[in-house]
Structure 1
């Protein structure tokens, strides 16, 4: 394995860890863990089309909505594709599933993440899209 491919594999693992932390924060309805993943200038569009610009707006929305979310914490997030736009910018396609005894719904988020000078990957431009069945 070359140094470049080793570095790329490490970045993919880091991106997957961000998505795993999103999953954990959603399962535990933990706004602070979720918000720690964002770039200060991030843009987030919710599954219902609400556009949030900047960490302050994302934080206000998340703190109001996440703790009282109407699912029982059974949600999963799976990285299905990673496209590096540059070595420090990645588009990450995610499969999101909400599970309940009576129903299942799915989302198809796209997270554009940027690698910071300290090596951390942060959510920077994200679109959370619900999947319509049928």
Structure 2
């Protein structure tokens, strides 16, 4: 990542930890840990274009889909870039890789995160985009 020596190092570290928690919750297929990362009014768009508005919609979808996900838990998330829109709002570009038995896929999520009054950064508006390689359907 290219911002880690800026005066915002503590914020970048906290955002990086947020993304690490996304990774851990996905690896463990832990819907509740994942849901704990969302702002109550969050917007989430899945890699296949399903739009979820508000925590209740995100929770319903996540509790149904995440535990039944068809990967073996080998997924990684890496912060690629952080752009601070305001002091308390950042756009975070993430590289996501699913490393399954004999098959790999990649995502390019964009997370808009916001810092809360208690200092926590939460997922606020997110777009999870699947990366298609030549030859993929």
**Gap runs ≥5 in structure 2:** 1-5
- Note the C-alpha offset of 1:101: 2.2
Q: What do residues 34-81 of structure 1 show as CA deviations (whole Å, max 9, x unaligned)? A: 000000000000000000000000000000000000000000000000
- Note the C-alpha offset of 1:126: 0.1
Counting only pairs closer than 5 Å after superposition, residues 48-87 of structure 1 correspond to structure 2 as: 48-87=48-87
SS class of match (2:97)? strand
Corresponding residue for residue 100 of structure 1: 100
Corresponding residue for residue 41 of structure 1: 41
- Structure 1 moving runs of 4+ over 2 Å: none
Work out the CA distance in 2 between the residues paired with 1:20 and 1:133. 25
**Gap runs ≥5 in structure 1:** none
Work out the CA distance in 2 between the residues paired with 1:101 and 1:89. 37
Q: TM-score, normalised by structure 1?
A: 0.95
- Note the C-alpha offset of 1:131: 0.1
Work out the CA distance in 1 between the residues paired with 2:102 and 2:36. 32
Q: TM-score, normalised by structure 2?
A: 0.93
Q: CA RMSD of the aligned region, Å?
A: 0.6
Q: Give the length in aligned residue pairs.
A: 129
Task: Give the structure with the higher percent helix.
Answer: 1
Choose 33-42 or 96-105, whichever is displaced more: 96-105
- Note the C-alpha offset of 1:100: 1.3
Work out the CA distance in 1 between the residues paired with 2:109 and 2:128. 4
SS class of match (2:29)? coil
